[in-house]
A and B are shown apart, each in its own frame.
Chain A
Amino acid sequence: MAERTGSGQRPKSIELVVSGVSARVVLWEDLAPKAIAALVESLPVDAALQHCKWSGQACFAEISLAPAALESPVTSIYPGVLAIRPPDAPGARAELLIAYGDAEYRTPEGRRYVAPVGELEPGSEALLHALARTAKTGETTLRLKLATEAS
């Protein structure tokens, strides 16, 4: 999934750090251009990362993004995929979700939709393990920043 834009341009990517483990995320600008623009504009992001309690094998962090329409809505979040649930009201926070296994965006009321915004690059198993560990060890830290060209 390294080239999704079809334009010949290099996909925009960001760096994700969880519990000190780093990986690069290829952003899916063709699927969620507005959400990605808002996310990139908000970088760098430092936030608490918790395991999901309704959505399965995924972690989430609350981040500050402007309310926006949901793009390319999905419920399933595949391993290694990042997704955003935009805030549904002014002042509310967005949810950034990252799956490490079977996950589906759910709330107490049932399934809900998220916008898929990107995917960890192949070889990011250490980061997936860091996400999975939060089910045993609890809350950790997340940092998102623009990827450097060299990394």
Chain B
Amino acid sequence: MAKRIRIYCDGVEAVAALHEDAAPVTVARLLAALPIEQTLRHLRWGGDAGYIMVSRLADSSQPLENPVTFYPPGTIGFRREHGEIAICYGQAQARSHVQMVGWACNLATLETNAGALLEKIHATRSEGGKPIRFVREE
């Protein structure tokens, strides 16, 4: 059975399944870092997604597992070089000011209440940052 995380954002809860088989190192590091609580903000270079930066997870030497450049909606991507966790609600890609095509780990996929959470993430564009919390789902 897949390991899961629960995400709380501005009054909404959702659960995501972690892709442990495809990204064992990344998933293990994320689970060890939980709980994570930050302000979610909208991406500035990569399109339709919200992100947080977790500096203690930044490690460029970590293997790039389950790589994607485009994030499908409902996907949670992780960029090892920044410790960036991004939740995609539309069309998004791992980009930066120096990279038109970057790579991220496809870390997890939303399973429950995805629509409500993605609406909150979309709203960061017009409403600004929102508190978000990631915990392990027991």
Contacts and interface: CB of A to CB of B under 8 A. Distances in A.
Interface of A: 50-57, 102, 104, 106, 108, 110-111, 134-139
5 contacts: A53-B48, A54-B47, A55-B45, A56-B97, A135-B42
Q: 8 tightest A-B contacts by CB?
A: A138-B128, A137-B128, A139-B126, A138-B127, A102-B97, A138-B126, A136-B129, A108-B91
Contacts, number: 54
Interface of B: 39, 41-48, 91, 93, 95, 97, 100, 124-129
Contacts of B124: 138
Main SS of chain B's interface residues?
mixed
A110 B41 CA distance: 22
Contacts of A54: 45-47, 95
A51 B42 contact: yes
A50 B125 CA distance: 7
Contacts of A137: 128-129
Main SS of chain A's interface residues?
mixed
B126 A135 contact: no
A108 B47 contact: yes
B49 to A, nearest CB: 9
A56 B44 contact: yes
Contacts of A139: 125-127
B10 to A, nearest CB: 13
